[in-house]
Structure 1
């Protein structure tokens, strides 16, 4: 019989290997950003960062472009998160608690929207946004990103509300609480893990989105980081260290944010999966 500590050791090693594979691309971006040209194209790859080259990060921030791009990405991601959750809560509640004609069809349509590629909707959305003067604005990107992430947010919240006992709502109604009060004071606090999960999904969808951003934004100062980084790629040359430095600054905050909230994501995604 294998000793218990052997199995624990193997699991720890497996976790460390998976963690190393996941973190290595971020580490490699950091090392590449701190590698000069002579070593960058050498036969042997540099595996340890040269902190004497840290000025590439300072220069990237000093120029102002990277700071502006990161700020725009944060505004778009935060706006998408707030709007999609604000609309997803009542939609998920309606699908969970109310009975109406076509309810199943609505859920199917919401699920079907996740099968549509974003590139397929670029042309009709471009024409629609031009008509309503939403092109070249962060608000337009917030709207289009929210439209694409709202269905999955609503379906996740519906599953979480399905798992809540109806007796809690009935008791609140007996005490005179209105439906909106029941939703905001009782249901929303109880589905907090699911809200955290949907917030992460919405945030990362908008943070990483590229197709709509590169199509609908024309002014360089309005571009998010996902588009700005691509602008470094030139016809005659590409500043690889600068690209990697900005890419690292674009990726690292998202990774750190996910590490802090990942336990809520797991809890939220499984909420409502088992009904008691």
Structure 2
């Protein structure tokens, strides 16, 4: 009973900021800055969402965010899966040093990487390009994805692969038909991390991209604050819309997360 009550209180405290954001997005402009808080919707309006969707650059920046995030998820997961497979199934010179390097990179503060990545992109003429931004995000998420997938692959018995290769399966077929289904939960978990990192980032999107045509949605959100003030209604409505893709993506992959845990045991 006490545990259930504590869990309920924890969930309420955790979800309250989200509830307040969504509630505020539907409030009229006069009620948003009211000194008297309203915990239940008394007057609902869609004007804030209309203002947010009518803000210049929304469609363009949305397209950039979708393109960049999709590319980061696909490329980062593909590279991480191949790297994790090599680290767990092969012995090569420098393997231990590579693992230590991956672990160290996870402990480096992200702001400390801004200048090195900026200079690297500038020297390769990739600054102010979406491809350069994609490479930046891949560099940020690869240490975590490689380390996580390595843990999943360590739990897969090598005997399954050896039995398949004895039956004539190639290494590529083993990776595609045995390792890939079995490691699917890990792929989904790391894809969620890669998606959230690329979708939510503001710092690198603002530093790498100088041309406004290459901005992503986090940078677009800043446009609601100007020298004359902040459009809180439009900003909160835009933030609500901005959070929806993450919720939808997680809701979609959560179902496949459970399926993937058993699918690999029967596919070969």
Which TM-score tier does this pair reach, normalised by the shorter chain? 0.7 to 0.9
Change over 3 Å in CA distance of 1:197–1:266 after alignment to 2:
farther
For 1:34, which of 26, 30, 49 is the aligned residue? 26
Pair 1:112-2:104 in alignment: yes
1:208 positional shift = 1.3
Change over 3 Å in CA distance of 1:76–1:159 after alignment to 2:
same
If the length of structure 2 is used for normalisation, what is the TM-score? 0.88
Contact 2:27 2:44 in 1 (8 A): no
1:267 positional shift = 10
Post-superposition CA distance 1:30-60 (Å, at most 9, x none) = 2222323432332211223356421221232
Pair 1:196-2:188 in alignment: yes
Change over 3 Å in CA distance of 1:154–1:105 after alignment to 2:
same
Q: Which residue number corresponds to residue 159 of structure 1?
A: 151
Question: What do you get for the CA RMSD once the two structures are aligned?
Answer: 2.4
For 2:207, which of 195, 215, 218 is the aligned residue? 215
Q: Which residue number corresponds to residue 272 of structure 1?
A: none
Moved over 3 A (4+): 10-16, 49-52, 259-269
Give 1:127-166 correspondences, 5 Å limit. 127-166=119-158
Q: Which residue number corresponds to residue 176 of structure 2?
A: 184
Q: Which runs of 5 or more residues in structure 1 are unaligned? A: 1-6, 270-276
Q: Which residue number corresponds to residue 266 of structure 2?
A: none
1:115 positional shift = 1.4
Q: Which runs of 5 or more residues in structure 2 are unaligned? A: 262-268
CA distance in 1, matches of 2:250, 2:168: 40
Change over 3 Å in CA distance of 1:136–1:268 after alignment to 2:
farther
1:264 positional shift = 6.5
CA distance in 2, matches of 1:71, 1:49: 32
**Greater CA drift, 84-93 or 95-104:** 95-104
**Greater CA drift, 72-81 or 91-100:** 72-81
1:253 positional shift = 2.6
If the length of structure 1 is used for normalisation, what is the TM-score? 0.85
Pair 1:175-2:167 in alignment: yes
CA distance in 2, matches of 1:247, 1:24: 15
Change over 3 Å in CA distance of 1:216–1:119 after alignment to 2:
same
**Number of residue equivalences:** 261
Contact 2:127 2:208 in 1 (8 A): yes
